[in-house]
Each structure stands twice: as structure tokens, then as C-alpha cells.
Structure 1
């Protein structure tokens, strides 16, 4: 049993009556500012990630590791 539209409307009217119209609208304004700042932060993260990717793509290729073909030393101890 979930909340239907009439239930939500009744709760909203009660909230406005208890908090007052100005206080309620101020809270909604604060929520809107929070959402706006969140979106702005996410956009900045995307910009930082794309600039980091571009920076990595512009780096020169590295020389191969000369030690990559080395094999590990054999252990001369007897097996237990």
C-alpha cells in the first residue's frame, strides 16, 4: 500500500500550514540550490576527467621494459 496522489497532496498542504508559505518556499529554494551545485560539481568532474584523458593521450610512447623477458630464479631447495 503506497502513497497515492491525494495522500501526497494532503501531506503537502499540512506541511505548508505547519511551516508557513515563506519558510516552505525558502526550503525548496535551498533544495534547488543544492541540486544546482551538485550538477555543477558533476560537470566539473567530467571536465577534469576529459582533460586528464587528453593529457594522457598526448604523452609520448614509453620504451618497452627490457626486464620483461626475465624468468624467475629457480629454487634449489628440495620440495617438502
Structure 2
């Protein structure tokens, strides 16, 4: 993957009417969505599970920090868009 000067990789994810811009960088597993902690933004545990699925499948849980900006759709579509961006 291509990385910028800060060591981040960028991708766009889409699901339903939601569009997510996602930056991934090596870190401790912190996930931020629209300036908030992901647990506060996606209040349902199942939505957090959706976001963490790519890390679980790749067996790299807590190895990367995620910063995402999401617009459009509902929370379920937004969680799916972030997952696709990851």
C-alpha cells in the first residue's frame, strides 16, 4: 500500500448510501470516526464488530489505528463503509 509522509494509507469505502474516507496507520488499535471514539459513535456492539472484522480475519487486532470520516446513510451502512475502506 502507498503511504504518505505520516505513514498512513488511505482508502474509500462505500455501502448503501454511506461513503467513508479511511486512513490506516500502525498503532495501538484506536478507531476514530468523525472525530469521536468509534465506541461512542457506533453505540451498538454489533456495529463495532463489523468494523473490527477485517482485523480479526487478518489476525492483526490492535496493530493499526483508524481515522475515518463518514457521510450519508444510517449507522449500519456507515459501519459497512468503514469496513470496506479498511
**TM-score tier after normalising by the smaller chain length:** under 0.3
Higher radius of gyration, 1 or 2: 1
Q: More strand per residue: 1 or 2? A: 2
| TM-score under structure 2 length normalisation | 0.21
Higher relative contact order (CA 8 A, sep 6+): 2
